[in-house]
Chain A
Amino acid sequence: GAVVSQHPSRVICKSGTSVKIECRSLDFQATTMFWYRQFPKQSLMLMATSNEGSKATYEQGVEKDKFLINHASLTLSTLTVTSAHPEDSSFYICSARDFFAEQYFGPGTRLTVT
């Protein structure tokens, strides 16, 4: 089956620094990837839709200047959390859509901002 990976699986950074999270489709091409955020014991909330070669579409209330998304190739999308603060600590999950419009989720990245 289709596999989506995320790197790193967990990261700790200091307040005020930036951190980049990668989402890769390993065995298929993904023109569209989605980024979700999940706080402890809560549901997944869509942050943005990432389309290869174009600007991401952000959901209402998500700061596009704080959460930078780049989808430079058909197998890679990155999410950069800029000037991270403790309230950005969360579980970030990506999903990728294949040619047949099926969606596959990555394993998630645990971000802790100290």
Chain B
Amino acid sequence: GENVEQHPSTLSVQEGDSAVIKCTYSDSASNYFPWYKQELGKGPQLIIDIRSNVGEKKDQRIAVTLNKTAKHFSLHITETQPEDSAVYFCAASLSSGDKLTFGTGTRLAVRP
């Protein structure tokens, strides 16, 4: 089955700096790679996703890159704000409607 590794497990940045979180996956059949933000006591919230036919996708301060050959994808958050502080999970699946395999999570802290 699919295995998703995520690094780093914790990340602390100064407000305004950039944050980068990286994930690798094992199943070359995976085609859908979403990123979720989870705040304490809440369900995961989709913040951006990318499909295998695209190498990069951007939405305001958030971007995701995908390297299918190397089987890794990354989340980039620019101009970080204190409200970006949360746990971020990457995930992989065959398609957007299939079961997801999650990474281990990254706890991001943005220092004011």
Q: Are A103 and B41 in contact (CB under 8 A)?
A: no
* Chain B residue with the shortest CB-CB distance to A96: B97
Number of interface residues of A (CB under 8 A): 20
Name the prevailing secondary structure of the B interface residues. Answer: loop
How many A-B residue pairs have C-beta atoms within 8 angstroms? Tell me: 44
Q: Are A43 and B102 in contact (CB under 8 A)?
A: yes
Report the stretch among B12-20, B42-50, B58-66, B72-80 that lies at the interface: B42-50
**Does A68 sit at the interface, judged by CB under 8 A?**
no
Q: Are A44 and B104 in contact (CB under 8 A)?
A: no
**Does A24 sit at the interface, judged by CB under 8 A?**
no
Q: Are B42 and A107 in contact (CB under 8 A)?
A: yes
Contact of B103 among A34, A43, A93 (CB under 8 A): A43
Residue of B41, B89, B99, B101 with highest tally of chain A CB at under 10 A? B99
Q: Given A101-B96, A103-B96, A46–B43 Cβ distance below 8 Å?
A: no
**Does B95 sit at the interface, judged by CB under 8 A?**
yes
Give the CA-CA distance A97 to B32 in the complex, in Å: 14
Q: Are A101 and B102 in contact (CB under 8 A)?
A: no
Q: Are A102 and B96 in contact (CB under 8 A)?
A: yes
Contact code string B24-50 (vs A, CB < 8 Å = 1, else 0)? 000000000000100001111110000
**Does A49 sit at the interface, judged by CB under 8 A?**
yes
Chain A residues proximal to chain B, CB less than 8 Å: 6, 32, 34, 42-46, 49, 93, 95, 97, 101-103, 105-108, 110
